Each structure stands twice: as structure tokens, then as C-alpha cells.
Amino acid sequence: MNPGLQGRVFAPTAPYLVGREKVREFSRAVFATSALNFDLDAALSAGYSDLVAPPTFAVVVQESTLAQLLAEPDAGIDFTRVVHGDQRFSYTRPIVAGDELTATLTVASVKSLGGHSMVTAESTIVDSSGAHVVTAISTLVVRGDE
Amino acid sequence: MNPIRSTETDGALESDPNVGALVSAPEPQAPALIDQDDLTVGDVVATREFHLTRDSLVRYAGASGDFNPIHYRDDIAQSVGLPGVLAHGMLTMGIAVQSVVDWLGTSGQVLDYQVRFTRPVPVDPETGATIGVTAKIGVLDAAGARVDLTVTFDGSTVLGKAQVRVVFGAPSIAGASELSDV
């Protein structure tokens, strides 16, 4: 992997509009049962502006930034050797339906460890007003030749 | 209120198509809100089991956009040295935190969640895979609570350092709340 990637900041992704049915679909897929994820009245009466997305929903928005990273011509990342090492989501507020989210990827670090490489990708996700919603951080391990 | 909740195995929601192969349903939402002062470090706030099938993986692939074939094709999984189709790590992560989401109800919000993927979860085409989740209070402080998850499959831990940061209280106006970073 190219160590020069460290510190690189990518172009913001196209805005992602969080749909109400997408929130329901994702919620079902992660076995969510909370009324906040499915029932608009319940979400409104709990003080949210619309259906609340589950905590890991941000991965849907983050995904396009990881695609940018893997497609970067000089990155030298072999997709078939990539293993997801760890993942974190740090929210300022939960994602709700109606949010229009834009993600900007920064390569926080590139490290080599015993033939493997580790890249930490930090995607900062903001709403249409530019306010921070969530930062999604993935560490990807790229296995070396065995 | 007693923060300790036991596993429900009555299967009341099993036939609900909205919840897929959920085998242990959460208790009905408690009317009383959780008071942080009633919690103690070490309290087990949820113990759950979730049953995954190949259908669950297909559903998650569609919902998340992660169409890596190792999550639905045994031949491809085996060609890269895996025993067979694996659950998406992000699916295991997403399911595990539901134990905390269901415990919290409207008492608060999950504002930070991290895991390390330490072991894959193979999902048998016929019998699926059952994931066990135990959620325990790890830290209580001015910001709220840190809930530590133990997530197991087949007797082994599959997620490391699985930590959920929750804040208590109602959201300020959603869409643009002023909750501080944790």
C-alpha cells in the first residue's frame, strides 16, 4: 500500500438523502424492533423530526467513501485482500429520515505490520447545513503475500 | 426500576415478517424512563440471542449495499480460504447494538459505538447461526454510560472492544441537536 496516502483528503461525496423506507428497510435488516425506527408518530412524540436510523446506518453513507479509497489509482490496495479490522461511529446526533448527508474521507493513517498494511479511513458526515452528524472510522487490513 | 432484564424466549415475534429470524424478543417498552442514578457499573442491562439465516444475509446485503459475494456464495467464500458464507461483520455489529437500543427505548441515544472484528461468523445454509449478546454497564460518568457488549458465536467471542456510549434524556430538536461529543 502507498504510505503517501496518509493525510489525503478526498472530494466530498454526492449528497445522500435518507429515505423513510430506507430507514425501515435497514432497521429490519439489523433486527431492530424499536418504534423509533418504524413508527413516525412514535419518533415525533419522542422529539425527533422523523424516523430514527439505527446506530450503524451511517455505513450506508460511508460506503461510497471507502469505494473512493479502493478506486484511488495510486493507493495500491488489492480489494480481494482487504479485511475489515475495526469500525467506529461517533455521532453528534442520530441520523433521521430527511437528512441530506455528505461524506468526506480523510486517510488518517497508513501502517505496516508484519507484512500486512493497515489503513484507517475517517469519513466525516455532515447534513445539508454543514453541521456534523457522525464520523465513521474504519480500519482496513490489507493482507500481504503469504 | 430494575435495570436487569433477562432473556425472553417466548418467541412472540417469531412470526412477524418485519423481524426476520429474531428468536428472543425484547420486553415491551417500559413506561418508566431509565434513570442513570439507578444504574451501577457491572449491571447486565440486556441478554439476547439473535438467530441469523442465509436470508438474513441477503436482506442485509440489499439494505446496506454490501454485495461482497463471500456473504452469499459458498464457492467464492471457499475459493478465498473461508469455510463458507460468512455474516457481514457490519451485520453482526448492527445486530449486537440492538440489545442496547431496545433497553434504552426513549430514555436516551446511542452516540458512539465501536467494535473490533476478531472472528468471523459462518452461517450454515440449513441451521444458520445464533449470536449471543450480553450488555453490561462498563462506565458511568457525566456524559452518560458506556455499555460493554460481549458478542459470541459457538462459544467464542466474535467482536472485541465492543463499546456503546449512551446519553440519557430526550433529544433536543432532532435534525440539529446540540448534544456534545462523547
Q: Residue ranges of the domains in chain B?
A: 18-168
Assign B3 a pLDDT band (cuts: 50, 70, 90): very low
Burial of A20 (0-12, 13-18, 19+ CB in 10 A): middle
Which residues in chain A have Cβ-Cβ distances shorter than 8 Å to B113?
55-56, 88-89
pLDDT for residue B172: 60
Q: What is the ipTM of this complex?
A: 0.95
- pTM of the predicted structure, to 2 decimals: 0.87
Fold for domain B18-168? Thiol Ester Dehydrase; Chain A (3.10.129)
- What CATH number does the domain containing A132 carry? 3.10.129.10
- Across the interface, whether the CB atoms of A48 and B62 are under 8 A apart is answered no
Assign A123 a pLDDT band (cuts: 50, 70, 90): very high
**Residue B86 has what DSSP assignment?**
B
Mean per-residue pLDDT over chain A, rounded = 94
Which residues in chain B have Cβ-Cβ distances shorter than 8 Å to A88?
112-115
Which residues in chain B have Cβ-Cβ distances shorter than 8 Å to A92?
111, 177, 179, 181
- Number of structural domains (chain A) is 1
| Inside any domain, residue A74 | yes
* C-alpha atoms less than 13 angstroms from C-alpha of A7 in its C-beta half-sphere: 2
Start-to-end CA distance of chain B, whole Å, equals 26
pLDDT for residue B80: 86
pLDDT for residue A114: 84
pLDDT for residue B14: 41
Pick left, alpha or beta for residue A88 (phi over 0 → left; psi -120 to 50 → alpha; otherwise beta). Answer: beta
- The whole-number average pLDDT for the span A123-135 is 98
Chain A and chain B share a number of CB contacts under 8 A equal to: 146
Instruction: Find, among B160, B182, B138, B108, the residue nearest to B45 by Cα.
Output: B138
- Across the interface, whether the CB atoms of A32 and B98 are under 8 A apart is answered yes
How far apart CA A134 and CA A91 sit, in angstroms, is 4
In degrees and rounded to multiples of 5, residue B16 shows phi and psi of -80, 115
- pLDDT more than 90, % of chain A: 79
**Inter-residue long-range contacts of A112-119, CB under 8 Å, 24+ positions, other chains counted:** A112/A1, A112/A3, A114/A144, A115/A144, A115/A145, A116/A141, A116/A142, A116/A143, A116/A144, A117/A1, A117/A141, A117/A142, A117/A144, A118/A85, A118/A142, A119/A1, A119/A5, A119/A69, A119/A77
Extract the C-alpha cell encoding A84.
475489515
List the 83-102 stretch of A: residues with Cβ below 8 A of B.
Answer: 83-94, 96, 98-99
| Inside any domain, residue A70 | yes
Whether pLDDT at B7 is above 50: no
| Inside any domain, residue A32 | no
- pLDDT more than 70, % of chain B: 77
Assign A100 a pLDDT band (cuts: 50, 70, 90): very high
List the 9-28 stretch of A: residues with Cβ below 8 A of B.
Answer: 22, 25-26, 28
Kindly identify which residue of chain B lies nearest to residue A101, measuring between CA atoms. Answer: B175
Please give, rounded to a whole number of angstroms, the shortest distance from the CA of A2 to a CA of chain B: 24
| Inside any domain, residue A136 | yes
| Inside any domain, residue A46 | no
- Across the interface, whether the CB atoms of B64 and A60 are under 8 A apart is answered yes
- The whole-number average pLDDT for the span A16-34 is 98
| Inside any domain, residue A36 | no
Whether pLDDT at A102 is above 80: yes
Whether pLDDT at B40 is above 60: yes
Assign B171 a pLDDT band (cuts: 50, 70, 90): confident
| Inside any domain, residue A117 | yes
Which residues in chain A have Cβ-Cβ distances shorter than 8 Å to B116?
85-86
- Give the one of A31, A46, A52 whose C-beta lies nearest to B22's C-beta: A31
Range of the domain at A132: 3-18+54-142
Whether pLDDT at A137 is above 80: yes
pLDDT for residue B167: 96
Whether pLDDT at A3 is above 90: no
- The whole-number average pLDDT for the span B150-167 is 97
Q: Which amino acid type is present at position A142?
A: V
Assign B31 a pLDDT band (cuts: 50, 70, 90): low
B69-127 pLDDT, tens digit per residue, is 999 999 999 998 889 999 999 999 999 999 999 999 999 999 999 999 999 999 999 99
Mutation target to probe the A interface, by most A beta carbons within 10 A, among B58, B88, B90, B151 is: B90
